[in-house]
Copies of this chain bind each other. A is one copy, B any other.
Amino acid sequence: MDINKRVRQLRSLMQEYGWDAVVVSGTDPHNSEYLPERWQQRKWISGFTGSYGTVVITDTHAGLWTDTRYFIQARLELEGTEFEIHPLRVPQAVDYPRWLADNMPPGAVVGIDGGCMSFREVQALQEALIPLHGSVDNKNDLLNTLWTDRPALPVTPVFVLEKEYSGLDAKDKLEGLRETIGRAGCTHILLNGLDQIAWLFNIRSHDIPYNPVAISYALIGTEEATFFTTPGKINADVKQALNTRGIGTAPYASLAQALQELPKDSVIMADGNTLNYSTFTQLSAHLGLENIRDIPSPVILKKAIKNPIEINGFRKAFLSDGIAMERFFFWLETELEAGKTLTEQDASKKLSWIRSLSENAMGDSFQYISAYGPNAALPHYSHGTKAGSLLEKKGLYLIDSGGQYVSGTTDITRTIPLGPVSQTEREDYTIALKGMVALSTAVFLAGTKGTHLDMLAREPLWKHFRNYGHGTGHGIGHFLCVHEGPQDIRMTWKDQDLLPGMLTSNEPGLYREGSHGVRHENILLCNVLKENEFGQWLGFETMTLCHIDTSPLLPALLDSSEIVWLNAYNRHVFDTLSPFLTFTESAWLKQKTAPLPVP
């Protein structure tokens, strides 16, 4: 593909429209993390495939704004084009609205595809342009005339997630949601988050890689609920199941019309953080801005607090996932011992295949990070469609992977030695594990935020003057997106309590550029431990089932309480998984989970 030609074509279009600049965003109408091909506009115009980045093109400049995770990848992918990288999340970073404000002439007009940018993002852009009396010009699908072979949206079947998995009928979820929006003085809520809609209606689909969702909107009023999606996605049975629960269906493309037909006295809840600018401004033009409650969708929090049946389903998913992980590690060790030549890609393909054989398996939950040696120093490394590095019989190998199961979603990272490891590798392996144990065993009062807990995972590393440059934890969906909010565990402040029923990852790491990387990742369930005069006390239960290799550890760096935790965890893994393993696998796992002596 000729990126430079595409940029030239876009500049002609800019001239035609009278634009001084155009913004091409990396997201879609639903503010998704993973996108169908049709909405990968930023990739089409620039060639950059990372999950985070925005392109801005002017007459004389083509820029990509992305963050530290993607500097190396962007440099490689943008080679031979005129694109320059603008680094974000670094000191003195200049974001693209600021850059436009600094570089555009007075009265500048910036073209956008407001269908694929959130209302909030466009607001920020508009505010930045105020000093130069600039404005945005919104043209939905502005690339269509250039992108002649632009793919259509995917049309995969919608299926119902039965109550034995969802734990709560869609009818009951709708009732709860109506109460919530009623209390906020609203008559309607418009949902555009694909995982929110899938959760609310208890449906799933396969429109997006890794995320079992349907491209859709949902409009819920006091009496009616409508699921806007491509008609070909819904068969008669699904339609019937939805109708029984009071959910009507309508074509995806008919949302605009439906919004236009809302009674003028409607008060609608719409989340400007994620809802696209075009739809948001259509709503405000029709109802008036004062009749939009622009607040985070309440579905985000409802979805994050898993019910007992979902939690039980997660247990099954983690069991299946643990079996797959142990089989994979047994295979890997056996193959390498037999002298087989294996690449990073061989390993990730094998693991994906083993997972696919699990009960209720529904595919991978994200693109695996299968990273050997120095590659593991990049927390978001991918061998892409290539074979990647050869796995040698020395050093550390890191694999961050996860599966979709009908009863839950998994995400796990293990780092294992493929042979002799260096002293620094041992130290980093041991010290990162201390962080994981500290968070796993945290006890905290109701009201504690992820920002508070983050410190517990870091302090053991900080005591050794080491740190990792990413967050410690993210929420995880129930047979939905592997990353979900509202909670997370990271240094930056977020005013969201950790609540009983939330599942959150626990993934401290240590990375040495050019040498190696370590990350240990489990999924934690937040539980109530007890109540007393001081308040309600919460803690975590580790849901992930896969042994932690003790051979790279430096036991002298571990407290006895940490060794006790590790021995108990490995024993629990063995006891739970061994009945499902072959005799050979089980004997191997017995060895792998042999307890360390407690000093």
Contacts and interface: CB of A to CB of B under 8 A. Distances in A.
Contacts of A447: 491
A537 interface: yes
A483 to B, nearest CB: 23
A52 interface: no
A572 interface: no
A560 to B, nearest CB: 9
- Complex copy number for this chain: 2
A317 interface: no
A558 to B, nearest CB: 13
A146 B328 CA distance: 85
A443 B458 CA distance: 10
A347 B212 CA distance: 70
Contact of A455 (B456, B495, B532, B535): B456
Interface in A525-563: 529-530, 532, 534-535, 537, 559
A465 interface: yes
A534 B465 CA distance: 8
B467 A535 contact: yes
A564 interface: no
Contact of A452 (B455, B529, B532): B455
Contacts of A529: 465
A276 to B, nearest CB: 31
Interface residues of A, number: 28
A519 to B, nearest CB: 16
B445 A459 contact: no
A454 interface: yes
A444 interface: yes
A532 B493 contact: no
A47 to B, nearest CB: 31
B465 A443 contact: yes
A466 interface: yes
Contacts of A530: 465
Most chain B beta carbons < 10 A, residue from A459, A466, A491, A537? A459
Contacts of A184: none
Contact of A465 (B442, B451, B491, B532): B532
A17 interface: no
A448 B467 CA distance: 13
A116 to B, nearest CB: 32
A255 B258 CA distance: 63
Contacts of A445: 462, 467
Contacts of A264: none
A386 interface: no
Nearest to A447: B491
A301 to B, nearest CB: 19
B463 A443 contact: yes
Nearest to A495: B493
A518 interface: no
A453 interface: yes
Interface string A179-210: 00000000000000000000000000000000
Contacts of A467: 445, 534-535
B462 A459 contact: no
A473 to B, nearest CB: 14
Contact of A443 (B462, B491, B495, B535): B462
Interface in A398-452: 442-445, 447-448, 451-452
A378 to B, nearest CB: 15
Contacts of A444: 459, 462
Contacts of A537: 462, 465
A453 B459 CA distance: 9
Given A443-B462, A465-B534, A493 B451 contact: yes
19 contacts: A443-B463, A443-B465, A444-B462, A447-B491, A448-B491, A451-B451, A451-B452, A451-B493, A452-B452, A455-B455, A456-B456, A462-B537, A465-B529, A465-B532, A466-B534, A467-B534, A467-B535, A493-B493, A559-B559
Interface of A: 442-445, 447-448, 451-456, 459, 462-463, 465-467, 491, 493, 495, 529-530, 532, 534-535, 537, 559
Given A442-B462, A453-B455, 16 more contacts: A443-B459, A443-B462, A443-B463, A444-B462, A445-B467, A451-B451, A451-B493, A452-B452, A452-B455, A452-B491, A455-B456, A465-B532, A465-B534, A465-B537, A493-B493, A559-B559
> What are the 7 closest A-B residue pairs judged by CB atoms, nearest first?
A467-B534, A452-B455, A455-B455, A443-B462, A493-B493, A443-B463, A465-B537
